[in-house]
Amino acid sequence: MKLPKVVTIGGGTGSYASLTGLKKHPLKLTAIVNMIDDGGSSGKLRDELGVLPPGDIRQCLVALSESSKLLREMFNYRFEEGGLKGHSFGNIFLSTLEKQTGSMKRAISEIGKILNIKGHVVPVTFTKSNLCANLTDGTTIVGQHHVDVVEKMEKRAAIKKIYLSPKAKINEDAKRAIIEADFILIGPGDLYTSIIPNLLVVGVPAAIRASKAKKIYVLNLMTKYGQTTTFSAKDHVSELEKYLGKNLIDFVLVNNRLPKKSVLSWYAEYSERPVKNDLKNNKAYKVIEKDLIRDIIVRKAAGDELRRSIIRHDSGKLAEAVVGLMGNG
């Protein structure tokens, strides 16, 4: 039986959640990962060693791994003291292999063998580039970390436009995977720092347009302070289409269960709330509502500089919803 070719486009914990669930189904998986991370461990390795950011790649490799639990946990292990404080073992390993082989592609291949991954992990680009954001007050922010992190109650103008500097060119392996896909899953993940950066790479929107795949957009669970603070579901789709192009999305997958009140109170400190679903089925796409949520408390390792969300898409529920849509393809 010919297995459906499924391509995920995103990065970080969103891709980790989707891939962890999807690998349990009979699918041919390719994870296309954004390459503009410059915060935390990835940012330090990028600055100090001149390597490509390894963090999102590492998460996708671990998500697709069918090796032992111990080995998977080792690649995600974050040092809590000493000179390596804040770094994850997997990030260091990836960067070491990239330096030794001279190729991130080769490094991914070697670690893929070690972790016995089901599928492929493909950087969207090999261009070393920075995410930039023009705000409505005329300010320009340079760097994914600076776009992503806004201190609590810090007043910042809305994002008007984001772009990459210098321009990045699509990795040919990513282009081929997109064009040959049967289904393309965009998201979940932060709109401006995980999802759209992939679409800013020259050649990615064109490849998605050229693909006959059914395109599924997984909507965010919560708004993001300083980025999508007031966004509804319709706003998310509209902003995505600004960079992707209109009438390309076939399905929008929306969570319809509210998190626990205790979880919502944590987000309320940052004026973040569940994304309001104001979408309706139309000629362009079909809206699918499902319970996709998992309430969790994330243990933040010492030295981890990043603020982590405490709810996630449930990997199993998300995968079931995506596979269910394949019957509508």
Which of the 8 DSSP states describes residue 31?
E
Higher-scoring residue by pLDDT: 11, 174: 174
Q: Is the pLDDT of residue 297 over 80?
A: no
Total-model pTM: 0.93
Lowest mean pLDDT among 101-105, 136-140, 160-164, 270-274: 270-274
Does position 24 have pLDDT exceeding 60, yes or no?
yes
pLDDT at residue 304 in the model: 44
Q: What is the rounded distance in angstroms from the CA atom of residue 64 to the CA atom of residue 317?
A: 17
Q: What is the pLDDT of residue 267?
A: 85
pLDDT at 295: 66
Output the pLDDT for position 308.
53
* CA contacts within 13 A on the Cβ side of 298: 14
Tell me what percent of the residues of the chain surpass a pLDDT of 70: 94
Q: How many domains does the chain have?
A: 1
Q: Is the pLDDT of residue 289 over 80?
A: yes
Give the angle subtended at the CA of 249 by the CAs of 309 and 308, to the nearest 5°. Answer: 5
Residue 197 is predicted with a pLDDT of 97
Q: Is the pLDDT of residue 123 over 60?
A: yes
Cα(163)–Cα(169) distance, rounded to whole angstroms? 13
pLDDT digits (tens, 9 = 90+) for 223-263: 998 899 999 999 999 999 999 999 999 999 999 998 888 88
Rounded to an integer, what distance in angstroms lies between the CA atom of residue 184 and that of residue 164?
A: 23
Q: Over the Cα atoms of the chain, what is R_g?
A: 19
Higher pLDDT, 170 or 299: 170
Give strand pairing partners of 8.
31, 185
Lowest mean pLDDT among 69-73, 122-126, 197-201: 69-73
Task: Say how far apart CA 309 and CA 304 lie, in whole Å.
Answer: 13
Q: Range with the lowest mean pLDDT among 14-18, 190-194, 266-270? A: 266-270
Structure tokens at 253: 């997958």
Mean of per-residue pLDDT scores for the chain: 92
Residue 303 pLDDT greater than 50, yes or no: no
Mean pLDDT of 194-206: 98
Give the pLDDT confidence score for residue 306 in this predicted structure. 47
Region 153-160: mean pLDDT is 87
Tokens of 293: 């949520």
pLDDT band at 271 (very low <50, low <70, confident <90, very high): confident
Q: How far apart are CA 3 and CA 22, in angstroms?
A: 13
pLDDT at residue number 283: 87
User: Is the model's pLDDT at 193 over the cut of 50?
Assistant: yes
Query: Given its phi and psi angles, is residue 86 left (phi above 0), alpha (psi -120 to 50 degrees) or beta?
Result: left
At 312 the pLDDT is 85
* Confidence band for 154, pLDDT divided at 50, 70 and 90: confident
> Cβ contacts of residue 2 below 8 Å, gap of 6+?
none
For helices 55-64 and 40-49, what crossing angle results, to 10°? 120
pLDDT score recorded for residue 300 = 47
Tell me the longest C-alpha to C-alpha distance in the chain.
57
For residue 193, the enclosing domain spans 5-326
| pLDDT score of 296 | 61
Using CA atoms, how far apart are residues 257 and 294, in angstroms rounded to an integer?
A: 10
Q: Quick one: pLDDT at residue 134? A: 97
* CATH classification of the domain holding 229: 3.40.50.10680
Q: At what angle do helices 12-22 and 315-326 cross, to 10 degrees?
A: 70
Please, are residues 57 and 108 in contact by the beta-carbon 8 Å criterion?
A: yes
Distance CA 230, CA 46 (A): 33
Q: Which residue has the higher pLDDT, 308 or 32?
A: 32
